[in-house]
Structure 1
C-alpha cells in the first residue's frame, strides 16, 4: 500500500522522440504494431520501478505487473475471488487450512512448470525476502506444503479471507527458477500471465507480446503491449489524440479536455482512500481533543470538488461509500464544523495559532495545501515539509503529522489491519489500536465470505477500527482512465485493470 505515485514530468515532444528512437529496437524484438495484430499503447503514471512482484506488488503498480504475472485467484466484477492459476480450493473443517488445486499443464514463460512447489516458493519468498513489501499481508500463513498441483496453506488462525487475499495484489506468482536471482527478476520479469516481456527499458518503457501458454489465452485479444511511463499530465491527452498512446490513466483535471478530444473517459471501481495520518504518541495529539479538532476541521467535499473535479467521493472511512466494508452506522460521525474544532482546541488550552506542526509529505501538492488551509481555519498552523525520503520516517513512525493514500486490498480485512492494527504499516500511532478491534477482525476471519451475516460482521470490524485516533479519512480518489474508442470496454473488476475479452479495432 504505497502512496499514489505522481506523474513524472516531461513533454510530449520528448515522448514522441523517444518512441521514434526506440522504434527500430522494438521492431527488432518483433513486439510493436509493425509485427501485426492489435497493440495496446498504455501510458502509465505507475510505470513499475520493480518488476519483482514481491517488491513491487504492494502499490498501484500491481496493475501493470498483472500483464506478466498471474495469481492463485483473481477478482470478478462483484469483488469476489474467482479461479486464476488455481481452478478451485477448499477449506478443512476447522477453517485453519485451505488447499488450492492448480490447473493442469501450465508453465511460466521460461518453461518452468506452474505447480505446487512454485506457489510454495512464491509464498515463502514473499514472507522471507528482505525487501519484500508483502510479508505483512501474510501473517495468517504459518507454512505451505505442496504435492503435485495441490498447494496446502496452513494457517495460524481460522481465516476465510485467504482466497480473497492471495489474488492479483498480494501473490503474483513468479517463476521459481527466475526468482533464484531476485535482482535480475526485478528488471526481467518471468510469470505465467497473459503477456510476456520482450524488453524493459528501466523507468521508461516495456514491450510485451501475448503469451500463448496463458491458461485463458483464448480470451486475450491483444497481441502486443507497449507500456510507457506517462509524461506530464497536460500532454497525455495530446498523446492519446495523436495515437502515441491509446490508453492511459488520467488526472481529473484533464478529464474535460479528454472528453472534448473524443476519447472515452471512465472511472474504474476501486477501494482508494486518502487520510491525514496522526501520531497520538506525540504532542499535541496525545490530547484526544486536539485529534478531534482535526476531525471537525476537515471539509471532505472540498477535496472532492477541488482535487477530483467531482470524480471522487467524500469518505470518512478507509473505503469509499457503497463498498461492502463501509459502515453506514459510522457515517458522518465527525461532520465538518470548524467552530467545534476551535472550541476543542480552546478546551485543550490552545489559542488560535498556538499549535504549530510540520506536515511532512513526499512532495508538495494541492492535497497538502488543502489540508494546510482547512487546519488553519480551525486554528492549527502547519508548515508543509517536503521529504523525498518521507517513507523511511513514516514507516518508522517517526512523524507527527502526514498524509497517505492507498489503493486498498482485495481482502477488506487486510485494509483494516493495515490502518488500525498494532503492527499496521499505515498506523502512524502504532502500536496503538482501538479497544475491541482485534476481536472484531478475528470474528471476520472466522466468518465464511458466503455466510449470511458476513457483511454485518465486516462492518462491525470497520466500526471498531474507526475508534482509532490515528487517521482522519478525507476522500476517495477515482481510478480515472481515458482510452481511444477503438478499445472496447474493460471489465469492471474493482481496483484492477483486466484485459480479458478486451478488443482493439481498426489496427
Structure 2
C-alpha cells in the first residue's frame, strides 16, 4: 500500500492492503489547481505494483494504477459519481441496462482511439480479471452500439456497478496490449499520467503528465515520483530528510516530529477497517461458528475501547459495523450492540453448548501480530483457545481461499459507497466459504434496486444482529505534508493524485 493510502489506512501496515483490496483511502481534490505546476510531487509506497495489466490491479491503493489508466466514471471527494471517459450515462427503467456515452477525441498513449470497441475489450478482460471479476458479476453482456456508445446488460440490478466503474474495474487500456505480457510492466492507457521509462521496477516509479488527457488541467504536477520504502520508520525518516512531500502517520503523537511552518498536517476521514472475519458461518471447519450465539459471544468478548486506547491512540476508533461511518448505512445505535460484556458472552457460549469453549487456528501475518496477544486473551476469556499459525504474507491469500481458516484477522478498505463496502465484505478474501442466507439475498436484492441514500442500512443491520463479522475498529489517522504541497482529504475512497497541489 502506498503511503498515499497509508494515510488513508494510517494505523495499518500498508503493504497488506495493497496486496488485495484491503486498505483504506481518503483523498481530496483541488478544484482550482495552481497554474505553476513544474514542481515534482514526491510520495512513497511500501510495495511496488504487483501488475499494471487491466484486470490485475493491485488491491488497496490503486492511485498509481488509476493515474495511468482513465476510468469510465470517477468519484468526487464527496463520494459522488461523476463523468470520466463516459460523459453521460443512463439506466433503463428496471436498472438492468446501462448505456454509456463516451467523450470523443481521446487517445491511448500509443495513438489508438479510446472508442467503444476499446471500452468493450477492456471491460470483457476485467470481467475475467482476478482483481476485478467480482466487481462485474452482474454484467452479462457488453456491446458497442456505435463508436461512442457502450451498453452494459445486467442479470440483475447492482448498486455497486457505477462506483466500480469509477474504480479499477472501470479502467480502460489499449486493446492491442490488454493480454500481452508486456502490459504487466508497461501500461498503455489514456490517464492523466504516463509511466516514464526512467522508472525502476520495484524501486522507483516516475509518472509524467499526459497533456492529451481530457482532464489534464486538474492535475498540477508535471512529475510524480513514488519511492518504494517498505519500513514505516524509514518512510518517516525520509520525510524528515526532505526526500518526500507527504506521508501518513500511525498516531497523532508523531506529529511533534513535524512542526509548522516547515510542515502542515491534518487528519483523514474514516478510511480503513480492522475485522475479525467470522468467515465459516456454515460451520464447515469450525462448527461452532454456525451458531449465531457463538458469533455474538465473540463480538461481546472483544473489548474494542481497550484495543483502540492501548494500541494506537487517536487513529483507531471502535466499530461494530463493516460500513463507513460517513455513509448512509451506518447507525450510531447499532454501534452499541456489542458493548464489552464478558458475562453475557459466557452465557451465550453456554447456551449454544460451548460452555468450555473450543479450539481454533488462525493465520498469523505481520499485520495481525500486534493484536494477537489481545485477541488470544479476550477470546480465551470465553474458552476459545487460539493457535496462531505463521503464514508468509504472500501465501495468505491462497491459504484463506483454500478454506484453511474459519476465522482470521485482516484489514479492509472503505470504498466509495455502501454498496461497494457491502460487496467487499461478502466476496473474495472475506467470504472464502461463499456463505449466504435467504434473508441476506432478499435484503441485498432490495438494496440494489433502490436509489435511496440509506438503501443498505437494512443489510448493515442484518450483519450486526446476525454477527456475520466481528469488526473491531476503523482507522482515521493523521498525515503530514511538506511546505511545498497542500493536501485535502476526501470524504471516502479517492484513488487519485488530485488531493495534492503545489503550495504556491
Aligned to 1:376: 380
Aligned to 1:29: none
Equivalent-residue separation in structure 2 for 1:437 and 1:424 (angstroms)? 17
Aligned to 1:23: none
Aligned to 1:482: 480
Contact 2:79-2:417 within 8 A present in 1 as well: no
Aligned with 2:371: secondary structure?
A: helix
Seen in structure 2, the aligned counterparts of structure 1 residues 177 and 255 have a Cα distance that, compared at 3 Å, is farther
Seen in structure 2, the aligned counterparts of structure 1 residues 192 and 370 have a Cα distance that, compared at 3 Å, is farther
| Residue 7 of structure 2 is aligned to residue 6 of structure 1 | no
**CA displacement at 1:53 relative to structure 2:** 4.2
Equivalent-residue separation in structure 2 for 1:237 and 1:100 (angstroms)? 44
**CA displacement at 1:214 relative to structure 2:** 1.2
Aligned to 1:333: 337
Contact 1:108-1:175 within 8 A present in 2 as well: yes
| Residue 288 of structure 2 is aligned to residue 284 of structure 1 | yes
Seen in structure 2, the aligned counterparts of structure 1 residues 98 and 52 have a Cα distance that, compared at 3 Å, is same
Q: Calculate the TM-score normalised by the size of structure 1.
A: 0.84
Aligned to 1:202: 201
| Residue 351 of structure 2 is aligned to residue 321 of structure 1 | no
**CA displacement at 1:144 relative to structure 2:** 0.7
CA RMSD of aligned residues (A): 2.8
Contact 1:237-1:258 within 8 A present in 2 as well: no
| Residue 164 of structure 2 is aligned to residue 158 of structure 1 | no
Aligned to 1:11: none
**CA displacement at 1:382 relative to structure 2:** 1.5
**CA displacement at 1:291 relative to structure 2:** 2.1
**CA displacement at 1:477 relative to structure 2:** 2.0
Partner deviation per Cα, 1:82-116 (whole Å, 9 max, x = no partner): 11111111112332111111112111122221111
Partner deviation per Cα, 1:176-213 (whole Å, 9 max, x = no partner): 222130x3211112221111011342222111111111
Contact 1:117-1:148 within 8 A present in 2 as well: yes
Equivalent-residue separation in structure 1 for 2:499 and 2:416 (angstroms)? 22
Aligned to 1:360: 363
| Residue 411 of structure 2 is aligned to residue 436 of structure 1 | no
Aligned with 1:374: secondary structure?
A: helix
Equivalent-residue separation in structure 1 for 2:245 and 2:271 (angstroms)? 25
Contact 2:71-2:170 within 8 A present in 1 as well: yes
| Residue 218 of structure 2 is aligned to residue 219 of structure 1 | yes
Contact 2:195-2:206 within 8 A present in 1 as well: yes
Q: Calculate the TM-score normalised by the size of structure 2.
A: 0.85
Q: Which residue, 374, 379, 396 being the options, matches 1:390?
A: 396
| Residue 426 of structure 2 is aligned to residue 410 of structure 1 | no
Seen in structure 2, the aligned counterparts of structure 1 residues 329 and 251 have a Cα distance that, compared at 3 Å, is closer
Equivalent-residue separation in structure 2 for 1:160 and 1:297 (angstroms)? 34
Equivalent-residue separation in structure 2 for 1:377 and 1:482 (angstroms)? 40
**CA displacement at 1:160 relative to structure 2:** 4.7
Aligned to 2:28: none
Seen in structure 2, the aligned counterparts of structure 1 residues 250 and 375 have a Cα distance that, compared at 3 Å, is same
Equivalent-residue separation in structure 2 for 1:347 and 1:86 (angstroms)? 56
Contact 1:44-1:249 within 8 A present in 2 as well: no
Bigger Cα displacement from structure 2, 214-223 vs 304-313: 304-313
Equivalent-residue separation in structure 1 for 2:271 and 2:14 (angstroms)? 20
Equivalent-residue separation in structure 1 for 2:256 and 2:383 (angstroms)? 38
Seen in structure 2, the aligned counterparts of structure 1 residues 338 and 142 have a Cα distance that, compared at 3 Å, is same
Partner deviation per Cα, 1:439-496 (whole Å, 9 max, x = no partner): 2111222123xxxxx1343211222333444411111123643221221233525222
Equivalent-residue separation in structure 1 for 2:77 and 2:225 (angstroms)? 26
Aligned with 2:41: secondary structure?
A: strand
| Residue 37 of structure 2 is aligned to residue 44 of structure 1 | no
Equivalent-residue separation in structure 2 for 1:251 and 1:152 (angstroms)? 44
Seen in structure 2, the aligned counterparts of structure 1 residues 256 and 157 have a Cα distance that, compared at 3 Å, is same
| Residue 497 of structure 2 is aligned to residue 494 of structure 1 | no
For structure 1, the 5+ residue unaligned runs are: 9-35, 449-453
Aligned to 1:177: 176
Equivalent-residue separation in structure 2 for 1:480 and 1:60 (angstroms)? 18
**CA displacement at 1:241 relative to structure 2:** 2.1
Aligned with 1:137: secondary structure?
A: helix
For residues 185-200 of structure 1, the aligned pairs below 5 Å read 185-199=183-197, 200=199
Partner deviation per Cα, 1:319-363 (whole Å, 9 max, x = no partner): 2323222134533222111222233334445456x5332221333
Equivalent-residue separation in structure 1 for 2:172 and 2:503 (angstroms)? 31
Aligned to 2:90: 90
Aligned with 1:290: secondary structure?
A: helix
Partner deviation per Cα, 1:2-44 (whole Å, 9 max, x = no partner): 9988357xxxxxxxxxxxxxxxxxxxxxxxxxxx921011112
Seen in structure 2, the aligned counterparts of structure 1 residues 391 and 381 have a Cα distance that, compared at 3 Å, is same
Equivalent-residue separation in structure 2 for 1:191 and 1:384 (angstroms)? 43
Contact 2:50-2:57 within 8 A present in 1 as well: yes
Seen in structure 2, the aligned counterparts of structure 1 residues 143 and 486 have a Cα distance that, compared at 3 Å, is same
| Residue 63 of structure 2 is aligned to residue 63 of structure 1 | yes
Equivalent-residue separation in structure 1 for 2:329 and 2:47 (angstroms)? 27
Q: How many residues align?
A: 467
Aligned with 2:68: secondary structure?
A: coil
Equivalent-residue separation in structure 2 for 1:497 and 1:56 (angstroms)? 12
Seen in structure 2, the aligned counterparts of structure 1 residues 268 and 120 have a Cα distance that, compared at 3 Å, is farther
Equivalent-residue separation in structure 2 for 1:467 and 1:134 (angstroms)? 30
Equivalent-residue separation in structure 1 for 2:470 and 2:429 (angstroms)? 16
